[in-house]
């Protein structure tokens, strides 16, 4: 932690080595988070790049990240994703992700898994941005309710309630699809 | 697929477990970030040096003393006003006054004093919001009564609106979203009233109305964008106000707006303008460029001159309404033409002004509009009513020069220019009905 504080102090003064280290440390994680929200690897990489541009432009404002740098990163990433969907609300769902297909897997199970994922992913798109965020942070990033609360600037109780509502809503959507 | 909560959560974990590697290996982003950091570092270093040099200027200290003195005077005025209010209820009575009423100047002095005595940015933003709402209400009431809307009122509304965002950027983080939401609400109401006013204002008031509308729309856009990304907004506006490098781009510092000073006396404004012009080393820049100008609204131009200036500016720099106003926040001052030293001259005689304008227009191969010299028009008051005006002295030239009290155009039935003895304190109506 002390190491990170020192690193951030150096980064604040635009120390390129410190910034590069921060990037290497957090960019893969942020890329994964954004990918989980947008389901498009190239787009996720672009948004990750944009995220770190914003970071470097705002890093002098210590107040923004003093409490938790990672929480700040997640917040910026969330804003980028929301902005992206606001600009392109009708982005087509991605049916199969070729990158996930390994040659030695059973093709039938690959397709089955992929379809199941796409179904959940498509249903996820019908949730609110906050509901999507809470599910991604909890199940994708593996954050605790408390950590999620910090990222989302909510109380732990509010996060738990939001998660409960999100899962219930997702279930309703999937059940509705099955019956229809 | 089973849809119990547990199974659903397992599905979610499975879904999230699959993250393909980034196609470009995240290297491009790394390069972009480091290049940006290098650029910002260079900019930051050069600005730090120039800021350090500036702090040594004795002139700066003198200005600071003047500012403190004004604060003290404002405090005294507040006490006096309070005492008077207790006796005669003048302050209370002025609260409902409209532009043109005798007590309206008292109302504006009270507003200015309250603002001068408020230090907290959130409180200042609240105050400015309430003042802008006051102007909106006044304009609405004037229109309802079939009265014309004075330029001073529009200019004051525009100035208030311009200042709001800077104040909000300095507020506590938790106050910002609420304030921004209120700005969005208020600016919508303001826009509606101004749009209605557009059809009712007298002809000469058009530039001020257009300015007020532009500022209102721009502020609304910026506030909406800021609601989406408050961090970036804070960053940009804080830097902008402090003159430190903004996170946006290299132009941030040069775009730092010089807002019409709410608490300055006209003399101080003149000083400021003179200093600004001196900073620009008086190098003639005849060609208009898209460079945003730090100069505020022309304090002494007639609306016709303003229109000409706007037209010149529009030819070379069409106002941009980008989809992401945060990434390129427009200058908060209305005129965005070249920071030419031939800008509004507060101290020139009308003859000097005319010569200067002729030179400038000649360089741009622009033929001055004939109305520029034939139609006497009132000045748009850039700092008309926010400080007590001297009641004995005339307005600074060229408005102090006696002018015809009516327009020669047969269509116009109103008197566009106040009498030479008229002080602008009472609103400076641009013709009545």
Express each pLDDT in B82-102 by its tens digit: 555 454 466 677 777 888 787
* Contact (CB<8Å) B37/A14: yes
DSSP H stretches of helix in B89-205:
90-94, 104-116, 121-144, 151-169, 176-198
* Contact (CB<8Å) A16/B38: yes
Contact of A137 with chain B, judged by CB distance below 8 Å, is answered with: no
Q: For residue B284, is it within any domain? A: no
B287-325: per-residue pLDDT in tens? 333 333 334 444 334 444 444 444 444 444 444 333 333
Better-scored residue on pLDDT, B298 or B22: B22
Which residues in chain A are closer than 8 Å to B40, comparing Cβ atoms? 14, 56-57
Question: Nearest CB to B231: which of A16, A20, A64?
Answer: A64
Same domain for B250 and B305?
no
Contact of B143 with chain A, judged by CB distance below 8 Å, is answered with: no
* Contact (CB<8Å) A178/B22: no
* Contact (CB<8Å) B1/A178: yes
* Contact (CB<8Å) B19/A35: yes
Same domain for A88 and A111?
no
pLDDT at B134: 83
Same domain for B370 and B383?
no
Same domain for B227 and B309?
no
- A92, A114, A148 - which closes a domain: A92
* Contact (CB<8Å) A61/B231: yes
Q: For residue B29, is it within any domain? A: no
* Contact (CB<8Å) B38/A44: no
| Buried b / exposed e along B185-205 (16+ C-beta atoms within 10 A) | ebbeebbebbeebeebbbbbb
For residue B429, is pLDDT > 60? no
pLDDT at B73: 60
The count of CB pairs under 8 A between chains A and B is: 142
Q: For residue B184, is it within any domain? A: yes
pLDDT at B125: 86
For residue B268, is pLDDT > 50? no
Same domain for B108 and B156?
yes
Question: Nearest CB to A97: which of B16, B20, B34?
Answer: B20
| Buried b / exposed e along B340-371 (16+ C-beta atoms within 10 A) | bbbbbbbebeeeebeebbeebbeeeeeebeeb
Which residues in chain B are closer than 8 Å to A28, comparing Cβ atoms? 22, 26
Contact of A116 with chain B, judged by CB distance below 8 Å, is answered with: yes
Better-scored residue on pLDDT, B354 or B226: B226
For residue B348, is pLDDT > 60? no
B164-193: per-residue pLDDT in tens? 888 888 888 888 888 888 888 888 888 877
DSSP state of B291: P
Contact of A83 with chain B, judged by CB distance below 8 Å, is answered with: yes
Same domain for A74 and A108?
no
Contact of B53 with chain A, judged by CB distance below 8 Å, is answered with: no
Contact of A90 with chain B, judged by CB distance below 8 Å, is answered with: no
Say what the ipTM of the complex is.
0.79
For residue B202, is pLDDT > 90? no
What number is the average pLDDT over the span B22-33? 90
* Contact (CB<8Å) B24/A63: no
pLDDT at A23: 95
Cβ burial, residue B45 (10 Å; 0-12/13-18/19+): exposed
For residue B383, is pLDDT > 90? no
Substitution target in B6, B17, B18 with the highest count of A β-carbons within 10 Å is B18
Give CA–CA dist B228/B184, Å, rounded. 12
Token duo for residue B59? 């002139």
B276-290: per-residue pLDDT in tens? 444 443 434 433 333
Of B272, B269, B274, B264, give the one whose Cα is nearest residue B67.
Answer: B264
Same domain for A80 and A160?
no
Same domain for B305 and B219?
no
Substitution target in A11, A22, A60 with the highest count of B β-carbons within 10 Å is A60
Instruction: Give the gyration radius of chain B's Cα atoms.
Output: 25
Distance from CA of A49 to the nearest CA of B (A): 4
pLDDT at A55: 92
Distance from CA of A66 to the nearest CA of B (A): 13
Which residues in chain A are closer than 8 Å to B5, comparing Cβ atoms? 167-168, 171
Q: For residue B292, is it within any domain? A: no
pLDDT at A113: 73
Same domain for A148 and A66?
no
CB distance A7 to A55 below 8 Å: no
- A52, A67, A92 - which closes a domain: A92
**If DSSP codes are grouped into helix, strand and coil, which group holds residue A130?**
helix
Same domain for B101 and B113?
yes
Q: For residue B32, is it within any domain? A: no
Of B183, B153, B186, give the one whose Cα is nearest residue B167.
Answer: B183
Same domain for B93 and B224?
yes
Domain count, chain B: 2
pLDDT at B422: 43
For residue B204, is pLDDT > 70? no
pLDDT at A158: 94
pLDDT at B277: 46
B385-416: per-residue pLDDT in tens? 344 444 333 444 443 444 444 444 444 444 44
Distance from CA of A1 to the nearest CA of B (A): 23
Question: Nearest CB to B26: which of A48, A119, A120?
Answer: A48
Q: For residue B40, is it within any domain? A: no
CATH of the domain at A66: 1.10.1740.10
Same domain for B263 and B308?
no
For residue B197, is pLDDT > 80? no
Same domain for B91 and B199?
yes
Domain containing B139: what range?
76-267+379-389+421-433
* Contact (CB<8Å) B19/A53: no
Q: Search chain B and give the residue with CA nearest A175.
A: B3
**If DSSP codes are grouped into helix, strand and coil, which group holds residue B107?**
helix
B81 confidence band (pLDDT: 50, 70, 90): low
* Contact (CB<8Å) B30/A16: no
Same domain for A8 and A50?
yes
CB distance A79 to A30 below 8 Å: no
Give CA–CA dist B257/B333, Å, rounded. 6
**If DSSP codes are grouped into helix, strand and coil, which group holds residue B254?**
coil
| Buried b / exposed e along B108-139 (16+ C-beta atoms within 10 A) | bbbbbbbbbebeebbebbbbbbebbbbbbebb
- A32, A65, A92 - which closes a domain: A92
Same domain for B234 and B308?
no
DSSP H stretches of helix in A15-155:
16-38, 41-58, 62-65, 69-87, 107-124, 129-135, 145-152
B31-57: per-residue pLDDT in tens? 999 998 888 888 776 665 555 555 555
* Contact (CB<8Å) B26/A75: no
For residue B332, is pLDDT > 80? no
Distance from CA of B433 to the nearest CA of A (A): 48
Contact of A35 with chain B, judged by CB distance below 8 Å, is answered with: yes
Same domain for B361 and B385?
no
Of A16, A112, A34, give the one whose Cα is nearest residue A79.
Answer: A34
Same domain for A126 and A171?
yes
Same domain for B95 and B239?
yes
Domain count, chain A: 2
* Contact (CB<8Å) A167/B9: yes
Distance from CA of B228 to the nearest CA of A (A): 7
Domain containing A115: what range?
101-180
B103-158: per-residue pLDDT in tens? 888 888 888 888 888 888 888 888 888 888 888 888 777 766 666 677 788 888 87
Which secondary-structure segment (H or E) carries B47?
helix B27-55
* Contact (CB<8Å) B12/A135: yes
Of B401, B431, B395, B433, give the one whose Cα is nearest residue B416.
Answer: B431
CATH of the domain at A172: 1.10.10.10
| Residues of chain A predicted below pLDDT 70 | 1-2, 89-107, 178-180
Distance from CA of A41 to the nearest CA of B (A): 6
Better-scored residue on pLDDT, A108 or B274: A108
């Amino acid at each position: 932690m002390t190491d990170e504080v020192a690193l951030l102090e150096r980064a604040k003064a635009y120390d390129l080595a410190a910034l590069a280290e921060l990037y290497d440390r957090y960019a893969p994680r942020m890329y994964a988070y954004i990918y989980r929200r947008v389901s498009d690897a190239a787009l996720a990489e672009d948004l990750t790049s944009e995220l770190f541009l914003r970071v470097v432009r705002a890093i002098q404002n210590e107040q923004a990240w003093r409490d938790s740098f990672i929480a700040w990163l997640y917040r910026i990433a969330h804003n980028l994703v929301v902005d992206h969907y606001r600009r392109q609300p009708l982005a087509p769902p991605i049916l199969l992700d070729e990158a996930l297909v390994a040659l030695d897997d059973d093709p039938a199970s690959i397709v089955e898994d992929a379809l199941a994922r796409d179904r959940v992913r498509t249903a996820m798109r019908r949730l609110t941005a906050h509901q999507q965020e809470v599910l991604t942070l909890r199940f994708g990033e593996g954050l605790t309710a408390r950590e999620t609360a910090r990222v989302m600037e909510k109380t732990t109780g509010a996060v738990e309630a939001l998660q409960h509502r999100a899962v219930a809503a997702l279930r309703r959507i999937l059940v509705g699809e099955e019956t229809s | 697929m089973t849809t119990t909560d547990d199974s659903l959560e397992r599905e979610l974990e499975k879904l999230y477990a699959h993250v393909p590697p980034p196609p470009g290996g995240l290297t491009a982003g790394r390069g972009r970030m480091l290049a940006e950091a290098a650029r910002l570092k260079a900019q930051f270093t050069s600005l730090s040096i120039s800021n350090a040099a500036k702090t040594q200027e004795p002139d700066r200290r003198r200005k600071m003393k003047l500012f403190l003195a004004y604060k003290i005077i404002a405090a005294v005025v507040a006490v006096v006003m309070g005492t008077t209010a207790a006796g005669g209820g003048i302050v209370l009575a002025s609260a409902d006054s409209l532009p043109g009423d005798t007590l309206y100047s008292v109302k504006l002095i009270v507003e200015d004093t309250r603002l001068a005595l408020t230090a907290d940015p959130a409180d200042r933003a609240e105050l400015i919001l309430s003042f802008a709402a006051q102007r909106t209400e006044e304009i609405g009431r004037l229109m309802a009564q079939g009265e014309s809307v004075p330029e001073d009122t529009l200019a004051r509304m525009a100035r208030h609106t311009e200042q709001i965002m800077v104040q909000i950027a300095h507020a506590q983080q938790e106050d910002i979203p609420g304030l921004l939401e209120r700005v969005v609400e208020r600016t919508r109401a303001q826009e509606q009233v101004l749009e209605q006013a557009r059809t009712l204002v007298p002809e000469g008031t058009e530039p001020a109305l257009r300015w007020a509308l532009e500022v209102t729309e721009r502020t609304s856009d910026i506030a909406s964008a800021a609601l989406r990304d408050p961090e970036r907004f804070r960053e940009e506006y804080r830097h902008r106000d402090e003159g430190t490098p903004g996170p946006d781009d290299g132009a941030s510092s040069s775009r730092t707006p010089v807002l019409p000073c709410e608490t300055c006396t006209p003399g101080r404004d003149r000083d400021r303008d003179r200093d600004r012009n001196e900073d620009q080393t008086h190098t003639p820049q005849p060609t208009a460029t898209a460079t945003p100008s730090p100069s505020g609204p022309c304090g002494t131009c007639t609306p016709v001159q303003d229109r000409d200036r706007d037209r010149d500016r529009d030819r070379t720099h069409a106002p941009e309404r980008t989809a992401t106003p945060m990434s390129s926040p427009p200058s908060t001052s209305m005129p965005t033409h070249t920071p030419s030293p031939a800008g509004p001259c507060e101290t020139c005689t009308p003859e000097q002004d005319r010569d200067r304008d002729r030179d400038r227009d000649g360089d741009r191969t622009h033929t001055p509009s004939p109305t520029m010299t034939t139609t006497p028009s009132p000045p748009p008051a850039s700092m008309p009513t926010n400080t007590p005006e001297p009641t004995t002295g005339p307005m600074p030239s060229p408005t102090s020069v006696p002018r015809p009290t009516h327009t020669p155009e047969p269509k116009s039935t109103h008197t566009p220019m106040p009498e030479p003895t008229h002080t602008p304190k009472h609103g400076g109506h641009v013709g009545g009905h």
